[in-house]
């Protein structure tokens, strides 16, 4: 038997999206080539040598974007410029170099996939230093507003979700042949679930025929309680399916609510794609992953929480394609819902069709095909890649001196 090819998938836990996109790609790879692959899923920020501010940012992410969104927006915009972005990228190379060095040495991957942008520079410099030619694939997880740290021209494949992000990638000097417009990788179960809504609802224990609104929260979604209160007192019978998303306080509040509508309350579920396929509308945040999942299901979203900067583009994409709506306050939730449901759901049916039209349910499979193709590169292509790597090293005195300093520090630490 041929030895299995090793795939290293890198994530971070700043929100659910990066891990979810990675799991989607892994699921597609396992489904198509599982018996030929050995896949490792790693969060490099779990390493104690990773910068403390990056490790801590994962845990504080929800609180920061919920309590001080304007500061988050300022940081996003301020760092998304040439000079600060270059400085941040250089700093990250030094700060993450040893973590990436040891990770690559330990796992010996044949290809690396990352769904988080800050790792690319350090990975590329490690590969140069060790004169390795391991393909690197980056999968972008937002639809429009994408920070320039996502784009590194030395990657082997840049997987982008939309034509708008393709233009950004070209603007930031990614070679056109390396750019693949595939959508955001979402779980493969969305493609597999083809049953009628009524049948899925029956299996879930819901009413089979009522208009069903899925509301998905999280610790950082502040508008969910108010939106559900509007639905609970809406004049038309509805079926409300509320998932708190590990927001313990929110979950307790939902369980204690006196419901006037048919309601099904959950703390956290693993089968959100199934819930989406069984629903008519979703109320949620404007995260790249959940928005992409909803569109792939033909499920129009009412977006009630938007991280300024990062998620603004996701909301704009939905609105520009008339595939959903943004509610800036509870009155707008009421207005949108009324508008969509009137005249025998005429508008709802249209936005649902539009959502399905722009959704990309096959994105994870396309990502898997690209990874598999890179794994199958001919030996002579790899040799040529090594030659190119050596050529890049020539004249990079500043890079070599940086690597020498890092190696000296490593030696001193070992001694």
Pick among 3.40.50.40, 3.40.50.2000, 3.30.420.40, 1.10.3720.10: CATH of 5-186+362-414: 3.40.50.2000
Sign of CA dihedral 20, 37, 139, 69: positive
Q: Does the structure show a pLDDT above 60 at 131?
A: yes
Question: For the ranges 221-235, 284-298, 400-414, which has the lowest average pLDDT?
Answer: 400-414
Whether residue 167 is predicted with pLDDT greater than 80 in this model: the reply is yes
Q: The domain 189-358: what is its CATH number?
A: 3.40.50.2000
Residue 392 pLDDT class (50, 70, 90 cuts): very low
- Give the whole-number percent of the chain exceeding pLDDT 70: 81
Burial track 119-137 (b if 16+ CB lie within 10 A, e otherwise): bbbbbbbbbbbeebbbbbb
Using 50, 70 and 90 to split pLDDT, how confident is the model at 143?
confident
pTM confidence score:
0.82
pLDDT at site 385:
57
For the cut 90, the answer to whether the pLDDT of residue 405 exceeds it is: no
Per-residue model confidence (pLDDT) at position 411:
59
Mean pLDDT lowest for which of 91-95, 196-200, 345-349?
91-95
pLDDT tens-digit readout, 183-211:
999 999 999 988 999 999 999 999 999 99
Residue-level pLDDT at 380: 45
CA 135, CA 137: separation in Å to the nearest integer? 7
Q: Identify which has the larger pLDDT, 14 or 276.
A: 276
Burial 35-47 (b: 16+ CB within 10 A, else e): eebebeebbbbee
pLDDT of residue 293: 95
Mean predicted confidence (pLDDT) in 17-31: 93
Averaged pLDDT of the chain? 84
Task: Locate the domains of the chain by residue range.
Answer: 5-186+362-414, 189-358
Domains 5-186+362-414 and 189-358 share a fold: yes
């Amino acid at each position: 038997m041929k030895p299995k090819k090793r795939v290293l998938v890198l994530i971070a836990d700043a929100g659910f999206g990066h891990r979810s996109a990675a799991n989607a790609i892994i699921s597609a790879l396992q489904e198509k080539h599982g018996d030929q692959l050995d896949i490792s899923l790693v969060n490099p920020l779990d390493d104690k040598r990773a910068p403390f501010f990056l490790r801590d940012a994962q845990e504080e992410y929800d609180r920061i974007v919920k309590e001080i969104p304007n500061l988050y927006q300022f940081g996003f915009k301020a760092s998304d410029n040439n000079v600060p972005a270059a400085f941040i990228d250089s700093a990250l190379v030094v700060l993450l170099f040893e973590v990436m060095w040891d990770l690559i040495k330990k796992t010996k991957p044949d290809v690396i996939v990352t769904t988080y942008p800050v790792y690319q520079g350090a990975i590329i410099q490690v590969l140069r230093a060790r004169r390795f030619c391991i393909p690197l694939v980056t999968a972008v997880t937002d639809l429009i507003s994408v920070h320039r740290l996502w784009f590194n021209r030395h990657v082997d494949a840049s997987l982008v979700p939309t034509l708008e992000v393709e233009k950004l990638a070209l603007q930031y000097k990614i070679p056109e042949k390396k750019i693949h417009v595939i959508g955001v990788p979402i779980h493969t179960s969305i493609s597999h679930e083809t049953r009628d809504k009524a049948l899925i609802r029956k299996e879930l224990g819901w009413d089979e025929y009522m208009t069903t609104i899925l509301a998905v929260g999280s610790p950082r979604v502040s508008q969910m309680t108010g939106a559900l209160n509007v639905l609970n007192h809406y004049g038309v019978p509805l079926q409300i399916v509320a998932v708190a998303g590990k927001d313990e306080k929110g979950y307790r509040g939902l369980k204690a609510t006196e419901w006037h509508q048919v309601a099904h309350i959950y703390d956290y579920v693993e089968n959100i794609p199934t819930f989406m396929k069984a629903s008519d509308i979703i109320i949620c945040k404007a995260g790249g992953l959940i928005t992409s999942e909803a569109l792939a299901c033909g499920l129009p979203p009412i977006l009630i929480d938007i991280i300024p900067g990062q998620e603004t583009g996701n909301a704009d994409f939905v609105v520009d394609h008339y595939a959903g709506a943004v509610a800036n306050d509870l009155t707008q939730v009421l207005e949108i819902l009324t508008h969509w449901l009137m005249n025998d759901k005429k508008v709802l049916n249209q936005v649902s069709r539009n959502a399905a039209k722009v959704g990309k349910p096959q994105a994870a499979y396309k990502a898997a095909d690209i990874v598999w193709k890179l794994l199958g590169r001919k030996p002579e292509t790899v040799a040529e890649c090594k030659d190119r790597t050596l050529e890049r090293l020539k004249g990079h005195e500043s890079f070599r001196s940086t690597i020498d300093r890092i190696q000296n520090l490593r030696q001193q630490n070992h001694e």
